[in-house]
Structure 1
Amino acid sequence: MKFKLIFLLLCMGNSFSIYAQSNINRYSIIPAPVKLKPIKGAFIWTKNTTIKLSGDASFDIVKKELSAIGLKLSVSSQKSSILIVQDKNIQASEGYKLSVNPNQITIAAANIEGAYWAVSTLKQLAGTSIYGKVANIPCVEIEDQPKFGWRGMHLDVARHFFDLAELRLMIDRMTLYKFNKLHLHLTDDQGWRLEIKKYPELTAKGAWRTLNNQDSACLKMAETNPDFNLPEKNFKVINGKKMYGGFYTQSEMKGLIKYAQDRGVEIIPEIDMPGHMMAATKLFPWLSSSGAGGLGKDFSEPICPCKESTFEFAENVFTEVAALFPSKYIHLGADEVEKDSWKKLPECDELMKKEGLKSVEELQSYFIHRMEKFFINKGKKLIGWDEMLEGGMSATATMMYWRAWVPGAPKKATENGNEVIMLPGEFCYFDAPQDAGSLKKVYSFDPYNYNLTEAQKKLILGVQAATWTETIPSLRRLEYMIFPRLLALAEVAWTGSAAGWDDFLKRSNNQYSMLDAMNVNYRMPDIYGFSPKSVFVDQTYLKLDNPLKSTVLHYTTDGSTPVKSSKIYSGPLLINKPQQIKLAAFRPNGNPGEVYVINYERQAYQKAITSNGFQKGLKFSYYPKYYKSVTKIKETDRTDSAITAKIDIPVKEKAPSFGTKHTGYFYAPQDGIYTFYLKADDGSNLYMDQKLLIDNDGLHSAIEKSAQIALGKGYHPFELLFIEGGGGYTLQLEYSVGDGKRKPLSESDFYH
């Protein structure tokens, strides 16, 4: 009764937001709780603290989780207890209440999931002390519940394999930040990872391969970063050949499912069909239209939807999958399907005529609809990638939205009555390279910002991270790509971004000591205060801003890679001659972060061009062709031109792939050192005074690069080249002068 009264008073007023500055260090919880009231004092948790259970016996797993923490120090005068209570009056799904006072901690939840999330909050309140002999937990009252019911993490185990111990570890990482869905991509061209008893060849042979081009790419990068090495445990000698791979038996998967369930996590299996099936079609070529099962123009040849033998195979596979996984969902994939072979088969033509199908896209939908009916008969619900929309999607399927370059897909799906899980690549694909803006980009994600009505918003189940492992062969590399971005998505999924970026950044910086204690190989926050291509006129100072105060910066000036014995950066460094500086931050455990390379060049101020009746704006040219490099853009391909006030692409109907050119003059308002920041997806080059300043060329995801130049006051020749290879684009250009703040270039900066 006392516990309920506390929260009644809390709801009436005097509630506290965790976002208050003075409490960030004391309550650095991610995701931020919905309601938090600070209380003076602390609860001292020792090995003598009793853990009591009141209510549903199923909560015993929560008691075991707390008991397993294993604190060693006893304090004889301290009488304390942790009470776990089932409170069916808590209406919110997965909601919980957590009360911490000096003598007792009370966890109240309606179900085991809510109780487990309370434990996750409790662990974060304890921080690194939970790994010591005694835990010191600040007193507090918390009332919490999630914004979204689907808070997922996707992991591709087909391209590179991760064993059961690694998956259990990832589940532990997920639950600390209240993620509740683990989507396993179990099959693809590169490997079949789940035992299917009807077809033992799928894992006996399909789970193993000789090294492919993805492995070779990893091994090349491993020459400078050992995290790209393929773990030796994932190799096996088969018929005298050393093969890479691995798979999960159904018995092993049952154990993993139970491990996840006990921690509030649901595992959703994905068996990708009809495309991405070469691991199966190599073994059973009769599944494909051609009877060969190789590579097509863009993707591997899919299984054929015009043969009854295909459906027999698929139904046999999914019968076992449905029986194994208790989740109500099965993911069919249904993305990136090479359909050309279907056009060449008479049986497909006959089927299309019989079913009234007008295109191969509708033929793919025929396959999906038929499989969905089978899933429904098994008591399951079908999930597929958003390509399902192209040929028509039934209202009962669930869509995963990933193609950020198709922004109308969520609205179209919800108009059709479909539930949607949001993981657009620009925010949620954690295999994409990281830069200084990656964490903020994830935090800025609004799953509702797709022109949805209030009714349509209710069909958004939640959000999910996606990690594809073509170039992620090891657990260390996986952790590096996921953390700390997973923390930002956790807050988007649970609370939203109401706290604001600055508040979140301070709390996330306080989380790194916890990640260190768990030996997570996270990407450290970026060090600021320099550009890789830096310049000076007479002299300058290198002034570094290291946001992670627990790390130590070491640097070298002789070209060698910094180590712990290298010089320590303790303040501004005088730069008065051309030189190269390499620096890295070192964690308390001795692990280094990124190695930054700064090349200093002495420059005189570049002389400006005399104005000759210049007008505002830049000349813009458009080239609707596919290019792999901006250097390949040809004037003969140009179809459109215009004058633009700023860096934009004023073309209404854009081709899937294209190139652009902006030319004119940049006006420097004063003599100074100008730093330009170019972010592009795909490639872009910036030329100033007819020389290449920033090379950000090639086909890649959104990456920012910067460089400095000494400019005299006045007009300077400017050219920006850009290519979009397909799949959505980013083109942003900002600048700063001296130590000033960076800002976007605007109409006042450009002339022609």
Structure 2
Amino acid sequence: MVRNLILLLLVFAANAQAITALQLERLAQQLQVHYTLIDANPDSCPEQKEACYLSELTLSLANAEDLEPISDWAIYFSQLMPIYAVQGEQLAIEHVNGDLHRIRATSQFTGFGEAGVSVRFYTEQSQITRSEFMPNYLISDVEHRLEPQVIASTQSAVDDTTGLEQQPYLQAFTGIKQLRVSDDDKTPWMGAEYLYQHQVRPKPRDTVLGLVPQPQHIARTAPGRLSLSKGFTLQLKGIERGAIEAALKRLATLGVHERQAAVSIEIHVSEQAGAPPESYKLNVRGESIVIQAPSATGAFYGLQSVAGLLNSDDLSLERVAIEDAPHYGFRGLHIDVARNFRTKAFILNTIEQMAAYKLNKLHLHLADDEGWRLAIDGLPELTEVAATRCLDLAEQRCLLPQLGAGHLSDSGVNGFYSAQDYVDILRYAQAHHIEVVPSLDMPGHSRAAIKAMEARHQRLLAQGDKQRARQYRLVEPQDRTQYRSIQHYNDNTLNICLPSTYRFIDKVLLEVQRLHQRAGVALHTYHIGADETAGAWLASPACQQLKGKVADFSSFNGYFIEKISQSLANKGIKVGGWSDGMGDVRLANMPAHVQSNAWATLSDNGHEVAHQHANQGWDVVISSPDVTYFDFPYQSHPQERGNHWASRAVDTRKVFEFMPDNLPAHAEIWRSVKNQPYHADDSESSLQPGVQFAGVQGHLWSEMLRTDRQAEYMLYPRLLALAERAWHKPQWALPYVAGRSYSADTEFFDAQRQQQREQDWQRFAYLVGEREIAKLEKYGRFYRIPTVAASTTKQGYIDAFTLLPGFAIEVQTSDGQWQPFKGNKHYGPVRAIRARSPLTQRRGRALSLQ
């Protein structure tokens, strides 16, 4: 049916009168797009599909009577899951590539009319959070003679009260049928009443001994508090001031400055036998503070702990003694700047917060299918073409406008880091004792590189330079392989059997190394990605030839990873990659030092690959998406931004509860993505005695994050809980025991540990809500204000609280006005409830009470 409609459309378009620029502009301004998610789990699906979801798209015109029935138009929009069945006679929809789709008129199109025209369609997979429905639909003429226009009604807006995105084109989500994707999906709609029943109320307290992240040992040494309101004098021994300058800057930002005749801060650095390199001792006594450490990094963290102990209101801290060292050596944050660009300022700001909470690895994802974000000397097309998305179907000027990118080259989703930008980032990270791990994803997720090098190929061919045109080409014209990537591309995997591919990679690596040398910052680890390449190369003549030449051939992806890993090792660089791709290799062909990011979901026995790779002697960084992917929603509610395939709710408490040393144990305390109990069996995948993980990493993927503010909303305050788990192993964490199986019916996490965890959470929640939120405000970070847990008592009162303390609560009465919430007060009918920042007028997302 879809093919027949497209054929009719093409015949009709060929005979249609060409649209004018004025008509196109009027359509862009007046066309009203209304998108409705009808059902995320219909009772039946077309074409014998087992699972699908049904949507309806309505196009109408506010001033239909003033417009002629124009048909020579095409509308391009992002739909994350490709459409496979269309119901509607006047409009046809076709998949272009990735998430890009095109709507065109069929021969039965009679004009939009006052009521508009609509089309229903089905996809095989679901979109259920509002942020998954992309903005910025583009309208153009069919032949692309005219400049495309963004349809005004599909642009998002920002709510003045909350600072959150609004999507006027997307109709309201009102029921559970828009939230659950299958019959066995038990995901709850996390409204105010649900939160009231399931969240833990903060316990009132005057103060808490500690900081974020919690030290190994902390004890109060004397009563009273030491005030730093008059500043401090600094005394250094064995360390240069530059090594701690960034921590001093944080103290100054919080209001504590260097002054004469003030509190003395003494820092002593000297080697200490057996002391971990990042360890420190801190003693706040009398009118002085003493920090001792075996390294500059340890001293830096000691000074950051002074800032952590600080009360922002009066600039005082308790008199304590601390002995501290990190649980993990690798404490990372992955930031995807490829899908949607993040500004240099955002990266520098994030480095500041990472360092404040003692995270030490910044995994910078610089290239993917949707963008290449680092200038490479000698390959200008990588940023001239592949750092921008617009509507150029030939992709000679830019990439396709995936992910609702729109058409403007100066849009915030576009951009790249110049050589100097990257050097500045490296130096800023080094000053904050953070290592940058660059990643330019290959061989899959490489569409941006492929299209850039194809543009280079065409440019040099036009100049008659065939040899240089072939020099860095990443595809083989004779390759007839048909595949579709996980993001629905049919052309995103570079050909690993071509010599030109390795010339390109060597060139890129050489230039990245040169940037590190220019910055004076060594390149220790390079992350190649290496994931999600299934289906490529099967019909490539070059690959068939290569396969016959390689002894003990395992897989094309494995061959590529082995080759690149050895090349990196020869340059003194450790290779990193995602665990699924790294599992394709032959172990004997890999270098001694390998980093594997274990990202399989825990509810699908994700512990198995983590254990396997650790047992191989690799440095395993725990990257479980169920809890470390910060592109998932805080709560299962349509208004919460985020993806949904691995977890429907990752709030700050869930991150805090993570026990990275014992992955299978979470089957006892957590549920699957569909809110079902699950079983984790470790009997055949046990860690060998003495084997430990290298660390843990949080992840900020950016498909649905088009602005820096949206990215900050997803980071904070979850980043603080990540730092807590990366630095500190709590007493309540269940020790790993090889061979155990866990489920909702096992009881290894007993009542004593549950009580210990509850007490520890109350400490952490207090410190974040009453101390750290104010510091995030000082830095201007756009953290998430919690939603309010609320219920109506039998006496007719509203009882309410927030997960983190310190936030004011407001209720909306029947007249639409908002009032400060006070317990034991009758408000009459209450429509909604929300929280407010303790220091600004910004409000959080409101929840209905009706």
> Which sits farther off after the overlay, 138-147 or 547-556?
547-556
Residue 344 of structure 2 is aligned to residue 161 of structure 1: no
Match of 1:442 in 2: 655
Residue 614 of structure 2 is aligned to residue 414 of structure 1: yes
Q: Deviations over 1:625-670 (max 9, x none)?
A: xxxxxxxxxxxxxxxxxxxxxxxxxxxxxxxxxxxxxxxxxxxxxx
Secondary structure of the equivalent of 2:809? strand
Match of 1:116 among 300, 325, 330: 300
* Kept after mapping to 2: 8 A contact 1:480/1:522: yes
Alpha-carbon shift at residue 161 of structure 1 (Å) = 1.2
The amino acid of 1:478's aligned partner reads A
Match of 2:766 among 498, 506, 511: 506
Q: Deviations over 1:337-388 (max 9, x none)?
A: 1433x011122112112214666xx110101110011101111010000112
Equivalent positions of 1:250-269 (< 5 A) are 250-269=419-438
Alpha-carbon shift at residue 66 of structure 1 (Å) = 2.1
**Structure 2 gap ranges (5+):** 1-202, 392-399, 455-472, 517-521, 636-648, 664-681, 733-756
Question: 2:255 and 2:729 mapped to 1: Cα distance?
Answer: 38
Match of 2:800 among 521, 535, 544: 544
* Kept after mapping to 1: 8 A contact 2:485/2:533: no
Structure 2 CA distance for partners of 1:291 and 1:161, relative to 1, 3 Å: farther
Structure 2 CA distance for partners of 1:522 and 1:114, relative to 1, 3 Å: same
Please report the RMSD computed on the Cα atoms of aligned residues, expressed in angstroms: 3.2
> Which sits farther off after the overlay, 174-183 or 250-259?
250-259
Q: Deviations over 1:112-152 (max 9, x none)?
A: 111111111100111314xxxx7322211111000000000
Question: 1:597 and 1:23 mapped to 2: Cα distance?
Answer: 29
Match of 1:475 among 708, 714, 717: 708
Match of 2:719 in 1: 486
Equivalent positions of 1:372-387 (< 5 A) are 372-387=565-580
The amino acid of 1:398's aligned partner reads Q
Match of 2:780 in 1: 519
Question: 1:432 and 1:548 mapped to 2: Cα distance?
Answer: 19
Residue 759 of structure 2 is aligned to residue 571 of structure 1: no
Question: 1:76 and 1:291 mapped to 2: Cα distance?
Answer: 71
Alpha-carbon shift at residue 526 of structure 1 (Å) = 3.8
The amino acid of 2:561's aligned partner reads I
Match of 1:321 in 2: 512
Alpha-carbon shift at residue 65 of structure 1 (Å) = 4.0
Secondary structure of the equivalent of 2:422? helix
Q: Deviations over 1:559-602 (max 9, x none)?
A: 85x7xxx222212465987x743544343211111211122xxx
Question: 1:516 and 1:402 mapped to 2: Cα distance?
Answer: 32
Match of 2:631 among 406, 427, 431: 431
Alpha-carbon shift at residue 100 of structure 1 (Å) = 0.9
Q: Deviations over 1:191-212 (max 9, x none)?
A: 1111111312111221111276
Alpha-carbon shift at residue 518 of structure 1 (Å) = 2.5
Equivalent pairs: percent with the same residue? 28
Structure 2 CA distance for partners of 1:365 and 1:351, relative to 1, 3 Å: same
Match of 1:206 in 2: 386
* Kept after mapping to 2: 8 A contact 1:44/1:135: yes
Alpha-carbon shift at residue 51 of structure 1 (Å) = 0.8
Q: Deviations over 1:458-492 (max 9, x none)?
A: 44110000110111122221111111111111111
> Which sits farther off after the overlay, 178-187 or 501-510?
501-510
The amino acid of 1:466's aligned partner reads H
Alpha-carbon shift at residue 497 of structure 1 (Å) = 3.0
Alpha-carbon shift at residue 278 of structure 1 (Å) = 1.0
Which structure shows the higher strand fraction? Answer: 1
The amino acid of 1:355's aligned partner reads V
Alpha-carbon shift at residue 552 of structure 1 (Å) = 2.2
Question: 1:459 and 1:482 mapped to 2: Cα distance?
Answer: 27
Match of 1:588 among 798, 815, 839: 839
Secondary structure of the equivalent of 2:721? helix
Equivalent positions of 1:176-255 (< 5 A) are 176-210=356-390, 215-216=403-404, 236=409, 245-255=414-424
Residue 475 of structure 2 is aligned to residue 288 of structure 1: yes
Equivalent positions of 1:62-211 (< 5 A) are 62=244, 65-66=247-248, 69-70=251-252, 79-89=262-272, 91-129=275-313, 135-210=315-390
Match of 1:366 in 2: 559
Secondary structure of the equivalent of 1:391? coil
Secondary structure of the equivalent of 1:344? coil
Match of 1:556 in 2: 812
Question: 1:466 and 1:68 mapped to 2: Cα distance?
Answer: 24
Structure 2 CA distance for partners of 1:25 and 1:291, relative to 1, 3 Å: farther
Question: 2:217 and 2:421 mapped to 1: Cα distance?
Answer: 40
Secondary structure of the equivalent of 1:403? coil
Secondary structure of the equivalent of 1:543? strand
TM value normalised by structure 1? 0.66
Q: Deviations over 1:264-309 (max 9, x none)?
A: 1100000100011111111224412457999835443300011111
Secondary structure of the equivalent of 1:287? coil
Question: 2:596 and 2:560 mapped to 1: Cα distance?
Answer: 16
Match of 2:493 in 1: 302
Alpha-carbon shift at residue 80 of structure 1 (Å) = 2.6
The amino acid of 1:311's aligned partner reads Y
Structure 2 CA distance for partners of 1:73 and 1:490, relative to 1, 3 Å: closer
> Which sits farther off after the overlay, 511-520 or 184-193?
511-520
Match of 1:721 in 2: none
Structure 2 CA distance for partners of 1:253 and 1:73, relative to 1, 3 Å: closer
Match of 1:654 in 2: none
Alpha-carbon shift at residue 321 of structure 1 (Å) = 1.7
Secondary structure of the equivalent of 1:343? coil
Equivalent positions of 1:449-468 (< 5 A) are 449-450=662-663, 451=682, 455=688, 458-468=691-701
Alpha-carbon shift at residue 449 of structure 1 (Å) = 1.6
The amino acid of 1:521's aligned partner reads F
Question: 1:88 and 1:24 mapped to 2: Cα distance?
Answer: 39
Residue 497 of structure 2 is aligned to residue 497 of structure 1: no
> Which sits farther off after the overlay, 69-78 or 443-452?
69-78
Question: 2:212 and 2:259 mapped to 1: Cα distance?
Answer: 33
Match of 1:27 in 2: 209
The amino acid of 2:484's aligned partner reads G
* Kept after mapping to 2: 8 A contact 1:45/1:80: yes
Q: Deviations over 1:74-110 (max 9, x none)?
A: 9999653111111311611200011111221111111
**Structure 1 gap ranges (5+):** 1-20, 220-229, 600-752
* Kept after mapping to 2: 8 A contact 1:399/1:413: yes
* Kept after mapping to 2: 8 A contact 1:98/1:107: yes
* Kept after mapping to 1: 8 A contact 2:482/2:535: no
Secondary structure of the equivalent of 2:548? helix
Match of 2:526 in 1: 330
Structure 2 CA distance for partners of 1:48 and 1:410, relative to 1, 3 Å: closer
Residue 443 of structure 2 is aligned to residue 274 of structure 1: yes
Alpha-carbon shift at residue 188 of structure 1 (Å) = 0.8
Question: 2:213 and 2:352 mapped to 1: Cα distance?
Answer: 16
* Kept after mapping to 2: 8 A contact 1:150/1:421: yes
Secondary structure of the equivalent of 1:460? coil
Question: 1:327 and 1:337 mapped to 2: Cα distance?
Answer: 26
Question: 2:701 and 2:412 mapped to 1: Cα distance?
Answer: 21
Secondary structure of the equivalent of 1:81? strand
The amino acid of 1:516's aligned partner reads E
Match of 1:662 in 2: none
Structure 2 CA distance for partners of 1:334 and 1:351, relative to 1, 3 Å: same
Question: 1:343 and 1:168 mapped to 2: Cα distance?
Answer: 43
The amino acid of 2:360's aligned partner reads N
How many equivalent residue pairs? 542
Question: 2:412 and 2:627 mapped to 1: Cα distance?
Answer: 35
Match of 2:468 in 1: none
Relative contact order higher in (CA < 8 Å, ≥ 6 apart): 2
* Kept after mapping to 1: 8 A contact 2:450/2:475: yes
Secondary structure of the equivalent of 2:359? coil
